[in-house]
Structure 1
Amino acid sequence: MSDDIQIDLSATQASSERIRDLLVAARRDLNLSLYEYTSKIRIAPSEIPHSHPVLTLNNRLDKKNDLICTYIHEQMHWYVTWFSHAHTKAWHSVINDIKSRYPDIPIKFPEGANTHFSSLLHVLVNWLEIEAASAVLGREVAVEVASKNWVYGGIYKIVLRDWDELSTLFHEVGVAPIRMATDMTPEDFALAARMEEAPIN
């Protein structure tokens, strides 16, 4: 029976509170609100960070810049979900262009993102992460964090290698410059909250 033993959750709670405090401090010191498309955040010690339905971080992100970049990365998933539904024609164009550019894109984790579509998607999301993190932390820091990130490591290499060409593409289709969260309407946030991006034909 549960009352026959004592279970100490203090370490788990303390590690989660540390991540909370790091994020709160980052939001106090930096203008992250421009890139916050959701304000509901979970800290789940054993889970892989993910974006939907609730942006979730884990307790392994104990370095400030790593935490900020991961947080921005997951926020960029919300941004891309919004873009895919608000600008579906451009969404189809950009994903199909990425697909044609990278026929041998890495798929197997950790170099890739486990599925072909997710790897294509992360070319866009990783680029947006670095772009937004550069505005928040400075270009040098954003690139350093991305270049050392072993999760999606092959995709980060592609993005950093082909930065200028991808920048041109993303500006042409209108996914960049990034539309600030502070300019979003409630209807925009509702699109961003959808569980899936718009289907690709």
Structure 2
Amino acid sequence: MKRMTWAIATAALLSACAHEPAAAHSAPRPTVALSHGTPEERLTAEQLERLFGRYDLSPWLYTRSIAIDEESIPHSHPVLTLHTRHLRDDLLLLSTYVHEQSHWYLDQHRAATEAAVAELKARVPSLPVGFPEGANSLESSYEHLLVIALEERALQYLVGELQARQVMEFWAADHYRALYRYVLDHRSEVRRVMRKNGLASPIDSPR
């Protein structure tokens, strides 16, 4: 009985850490285009629609045009593009979506982003470049520390601390490995740099 009571209490606590999902009809939706119209792309579009029905993703809707391309690596520009890799894992698709939208968020706060990147360069003199540890360029690796911090904060808000940590640990063994690991190990430092330069998460400050 004690074990069951502890499990129930733990589940309630973890649930309380996540933001209560909004009603499905209350959140705006992006326009989604399928690059090839394959079954996998259609299923991913349906999966994304379910995520919008379950969570209020309006704070992460900086671009309303999304492409789903099973042959492409996810990217933010010029059109936010998702792939079909995570059909069986909603949280990984959710994480990928907010990651790419976070690039658009930083674009809308370019001066603050550049100031934060400059400070991170002074604090962290070197970062890896290239798959699987870093991004495509050194500048992109530094900016990805900000993107990843925003991604983690979004997941904590949407699904709670435990599941957010699990997703971040997955990415830390998948791609941008050193960058995800740095944010996991130095979260407070990265967030402090962001706050100092006026770059807060969309849910922690007005747009």
* TM-score grouping bracket, smaller chain normalisation: 0.7 to 0.9
Alignment-derived partner of residue 120 in structure 1: 142
Deviations 1:53-112 (A, max 9, x none): 11100111221000000000000000001110xxx2x33321111111221211121110
| Residue 73 of structure 1: aligned partner | 99
Give the whole-Å Cα distance in 1 for the aligned partners of 2:129 and 2:151: 19
Taking a change above 3 Å as real, the CA distance of residues 177 and 58 of structure 1, as seen in their structure-2 partners, is closer
Do the aligned partners of 2:45 and 2:68 also contact (CA within 8 Å) in 1?
A: yes
Decide which of 46, 55, 78 is 1:21's aligned counterpart.
46
Aligned to 2:114: 92
Deviations 1:160-188 (A, max 9, x none): 1000111111111111142689x65xxxx
SS at match of 1:171: helix
1:15 Cα deviation after fit: 0.5
Tell me if 1:163 matches 2:202.
no
Equivalent in the alignment of 2:22: none
Asked whether the equivalents of residues 19 and 59 of structure 1 are also in contact (C-alpha less than 8 Å), the reply is yes
Superposition pairs for residues 1-201 of structure 1, below 5 Å? 13-62=38-87, 63-84=89-110, 88=111, 90-149=112-171, 150-178=174-202, 184=207
- The separation in 1 between residues aligned to 2:71 and 2:57, in whole angstroms, is 25
1:54 partner amino acid: V
How far residue 113 of structure 1 moved from its aligned partner, in angstroms, is 0.3
**Greater relative contact order, per chain length (Cα 8 Å cut-off, separation 6+):** 1
Deviation readout 1:86-141 (Å, 9 max, x if unpaired): xx2x3332111111122121112111002100101100101111111211111221
Q: TM-score, normalised to structure 1's length?
A: 0.79
What TM-score, normalized by structure 2, do the two folds share? Answer: 0.77
How many residue pairs get aligned? The number is: 169
Quote the sequence identity (%). 33
CA distance in 1, matches of 2:145, 2:106: 11
Q: Is this contact kept in 1: 2:59–2:202, CA < 8 A?
A: no
Name the CA distance, whole Å, in 1 between partners of 2:137 and 2:150.
Answer: 20
Counterpart CA distance in 1 for 2:158 and 2:126 is 32
Structure 2 residue runs without a partner (length 5+): 1-35
Runs of 4+ in 1 over 4 A off after TM superposition: none
